[in-house]
Structure formats: C-alpha cells, structure tokens
Structure 1
Amino acid sequence: MKARPLAPGRPRHSGPTGVYLLLAALAASVMMSVVIGARPTDLTALMGLLDGRIDSIDEAAIASRLPRTLLALLAGAALAVAGATMQGLTRNPLADPGLLGVNAGAALAVVIGIAWFDMQQASGYIWVAIAGAGASALLVYLVANLGRGGATPLRLALSGAVVTAALTSLTSAVILPRADIAGLIHSWLIGGVGGATLDRITPVLPFLALGLAASLLAARKLNLMALGDEAATGLGERVAMARALAAVGAILLCGATTAACGPIGFVGLVVPHALRLLVGADYRRLLPLCALGGALLVILADTLGRVLVRPAELDVGIVTALLGGPVFIWIVRRHTLRSL
C-alpha cells in the first residue's frame, strides 16, 4: 500500500460556517457533560453552583463532573493535535498515538514506575510517560527505517503495530506479579477521565501548553514537508529541525495526556481525517480546529459512556475504540484503493 502524501489541499468548505458549528457543538457538549450522568441533573443546579453554593445532591453531582469535563476537553484536544502532527511528520495517513506505539510506550513507563518504584505522585507519572512516549516513537522509527526505502508510511504503520503489541505484552508481564495494584492499573490502562480532580489536571497543564505551542509552531513546516524533503529544503526549511519540533510537540501532548487519563486510542486518527474534509490539509488551520474537534469527540464519548450502561459507565477508551475502529478500516480501504 502506497499512501498518498498529505499535502496542503483546497478545502471543500473554506468558509467560517463549519468552524462556528464546531464551536457551537463543543459548547453544547460541555453543557451535556455536566448535566448527564448516573444521576441526571438540570441547568438550575448548574446556576446554583455558579453562585458559589452546593446546597443539593444535584449541585454536588455537577461539581464532581466539572473537572471530568475539563480533563476530557484537554485530553481530546491534545490527542487530536498530536495525531495530526504525527500524520504530517510521517506523511502517513494512518499515524496515531495509539497505532504508532507512542501511547503504549508511555503506558509501559508509567506501569513500571508504579510497580517497581512505588511511584504515586502525578508529577512523576508525567515525566516517565513523556520519556516512555519518546523512546517508543524512536523505536518505531528505527524499526521502520531498517532495509531499503527507509521509513515509508506502510513500514511505519507495520512497525507501530509490532511495537505496540510488544509493549502491551511487556506491560501485562509487569502487572501479573503485582496483584496488589493489578486492578487499579488495568482500570487506568483502558483510558478514561472518571474521577478527575483539579489536583490531577493541574500538573499536566504546562506540558500540554508546551506541546500545543510546539505543534502550532511546526504547522507551516509541516506544510512544506508535505511537499517532500528536497522541496522543503529548496524552500529554505531545515527539515531535521522541523521534524524535531513537531516530534517534541506530539510526544509532550501524548505523554502528558496518557499520564493523566491512561492510553486513549483513535482520537488522533479520526479527528484530523474528519476535519480535512472541512478545512483541507493546511496545518495552520487544521491543528487549531483539531483541538476543538478532539475535545468535542472525547467529551461526547465520555457522556455516551455514562448513558449506554447506566448506572454503570463505559470508559472513554472503550467508546473511542468502538467509534474509531470502523473509521480506521475506512481509511485503510480508501488509501488502498487509491494505490491500485
């Protein structure tokens, strides 16, 4: 399968209407997230909470959902931007933090920190998750770069699948002897935003901000790199530095998000592909909108997970996998047919 380069293209809908609709949908999803749950509430309880009082069970329920909604918003935005950045960096339409092993590397690093070094602080999770994400991304690239032709999109996808499977097996091997922490870690490995608190969110904010800034700064560079390394160099771009900047942004976003939520898959795959239909492949426009679209997707997935099996819940990672699996198959078939 020879993937089609992700070059800047002409959007099908270049006007601002789609952007306004996306913003409106995101605002509506936030409102739904704070009022829908095991105990449905209404907006009157939200208004009471905004007045600074918690006088009822409904207001207490909404107060507990606000950090959860905020974490879902941040995680979705980070994963979608990271996915789009990785697709531009590798010129691979199948690039995604989950599919290329980045989330698996971050998860393995956190599990090792908990099981072997008794790591309990969220700040420690972040550093080891970022280190694990970076090491995994480097390993995938090195494996894909073996042999003639270098790291082609197909080789990156295959090496990502192999590394992800290997790291997932290693994670299970680390957990098995530790029955005392197995339940907690298995729940975290599914990926979710339940039980979020401000203490859990605050430590990741600087890393998310740095990762987002690096990715946005790399947007123009990704446009040039989509034309090919030689063309980008001829236009005055330092390709190695551009790749390093984009990679740092994606790794920071993936590592910090995995530390806070666990590995959540398919967000970085689904959202960029959907938004390219709206705004085209110009990364200067695509990346900011991916932040909005990713936040929308994860918030809706979290809200849907509360409703489907009420009064129990489905974690976000399960819902995004159910939604993202068919999209992944569609993308593979689409690019395979184009290469025939």
Structure 2
Amino acid sequence: MEKKYNKQGVIGSVIFHAIILLILIFFGLKALPNEEEGILVNLGNVQTGQGKIEPPKASTTPSTPPVQKTTPPPKPVEESSSKSEENVKTQDFEEAPVVKTKAQLQKEKEEKKKREEEKAKQKRKEEEDRKKRLEEERIANEKAIAEAKAVEEKRLKEEAERKKREEEQRIKDEARNNVGSAFGKSNSTSVSEGDAGGSGNQGYVTGDPNSTNRTGSGLGNSGNGADLTGRSLVGGLPQPEYNIQEQGVVVISIKVNRSGIVTSAEYEFNGSSTQNQTLIAAAKKAAMKAKFNRDSSAAMEQKGTIRYTFELN
C-alpha cells in the first residue's frame, strides 16, 4: 500500500513540474528589448580632469578630504533608555511564538501539579489546625464547666454539712435543756448546774440527777455507754453479739477521727472485769461500728472509751 502511494506521488510531482515548465516557456521567457545605442564614455569619477594617460584602476576611487571626527557629548541614560523603550514600543511586528519542547511541557506540567499539591497540602493543614483549635476550645469549655460544677457541688455539700451540724447541735441543746428542767433537784429552784461555764444542766441524758460527776458515760458501773469528750453518738451505740453464758464488763479504748468514724478499738484492762476473749472480740467488733458526730475542730484522732456490760442470757 505504501509503495502504491509513493508511485502516485512521483507521477503527480512529474506532471506538476511539467506544467510549470510549459507555462514558463510560453508566458514567462521573453527576450529582453534592445536598448538604444549611445556614446561610450571614459571611465572616471569626476566631471573634470586633464591628461592623456588613463590612471590605474586602483585610483578610481575619488580622494576625499579626511573628515574630522568630533566626540559627541554623552547622552543621558534616561534618554537612551526612553529611546530604547520607544523603539520597543514602536515595533510593528509581533514576536514569533516560542515552540516548547515535549520535555519543557512535561516539566511545566509537573511543576503545575507540584504547586497544586502544595496548595492542597497547605489547605489541609489549615483545616487540621482549625479543627484542633476548635477541639481545644471545646475541651477548655468542658473543663471550665466541670470545675464550676465541682465548686458548686462542694459548696452545696458544705452547706448541707453545716445545716446538719446546726440541726444536731439544736437537738443536743434542746435535749440538754429538757433534761435540765426534768431532772433538776427537787429541793432546788436552780435552772443551771455544772462547772464548765454557760447555762444548762451539765451531764448526760442517761445520767443520775443526784450524781456529782460531770463527765463519763453517765451509766455508773452498770450498762453500756460511750465516753468521748465533746462528742456524742449518732444513731445509738451498736450492741455486741455473743452466744455464750458469760458475764462481765469490757472496756474498749477507741480512737475517733474528725468525721466521727472509729478508726481503732483496743481492750482496756482498767475498768474491765473479765478477760474472756469471746466477749472482748464481740465488744471490739461492736465498738468499730459506732458513729460519733462530725467535729472539724477536734483532734485528728480523739481518744475515748466504750463500756459494754455482758449479762447471762
């Protein structure tokens, strides 16, 4: 197929050139017209001269007087630059377009792609920074809300504890006043008794109005009771559990923290009338369950005693 096209091309080319040749022969090749004849003149370079000998051809160039060259004054740079700019501006032809090679086009394409990737990367980074900033603000707001909530809860808790202490103190004062009025000595019109100062009847609600003791459990040498200076039981004294036929008094030395919780319970020999280990263990277990009123001004561990009287079942 390719040979056929080549053959046709050769034939067409021969026919085309033959036609051109015929056109030149019939229309283009004409004889030049004969010019009018004239007088042959001598070779020279001026209109005047004298002598019969022809000067050599080297001297055909007319001699001209030397021209004195004068150095023109230097032109301002601005003028030359302005002229060059005018020359550039007054050009009436356009520069030929630059034909870029395949390698240049590929390089420009890669550079464009690289710029676009850098732009997209910068945009992603800005978006990530924005999200990170919003997340930090959200965490800071949540933390501030949590702190405010904790402060409010602490305030409410302290307020509740304060009201509870006030209520306990009110009940305690009311009970003391009632006991003082109910168990006062019948042969006296006094409404106040004690040696601790203040008004009221010093002692315990479980005590004996005829007793001169101002401190202690208020039970004398019988019954169960607790002795913790300035503190009172909350909810009553827990009773020991035992199932043996033994009797006697067991005194337990206790330590109580400011919250009213018993932190230690040990057997106290003084005041005890038995060393039965079963009774002692039952007394210690019951003493650890005792609760006293809260007192923030008390010692870290306030010492006291709990007395248990065991009887035969």
TM-score normalised to the size of structure 1? 0.22
TM-score using structure 2 length: 0.23
Larger radius of gyration: 2
Bigger relative contact order (CA 8 A; separation at least 6):
1
- Normalized per residue, the structure richer in strand is 2
Q: Select the structure that is richer in helix.
A: 1
